[in-house]
Structure 1
Amino acid sequence: MASNAFVGKLIASLVLSIVLYYFFWVFVLPFMLIEEDNIIHSFFLPLQYAFAIPAAFGVCFVGGLSVFTFYHIWDHVSFF
């Protein structure tokens, strides 16, 4: 079984790699003066997904948080 320190480092590394990927995808790639058929563009999705994917995750997160909250407070809520 993995120790807590190892799991923490693994999660931190994963999150850092996702943040760096998104940073280069949104803030660096559009300003690079390279052709569209370059090998660098093959590592990234088209730019229109750069805001649709985080928005979808945000909607799912807020919706899940709302469902979780309503599930736990349902017994304490009276509408009438």
Structure 2
Amino acid sequence: MVANRIIIADDHPLFRDALEQTIAGAMIDLEIRQAGSLENVISALDGPEEFDLILLDLKMPGVQGFSGLIFLR
């Protein structure tokens, strides 16, 4: 069983990939999911998995800034 689950939410795939590689190289027992939009984050949160951390870009297209964070809350 995976001990920790993280979502990396950013509209730039290269940034998501680089951040995932950096985090994955520093931790064990970790599952990382990527999301290119706030809608993808919401879909992941509506699923059966529970997440320990969401790394959220505050300047993505669509819902931006803290309004997206408040919506997720």
Could you say which TM-score interval applies, normalised by the shorter chain? under 0.3
Higher relative contact order (CA 8 A, sep 6+): 2
Larger radius of gyration: 1
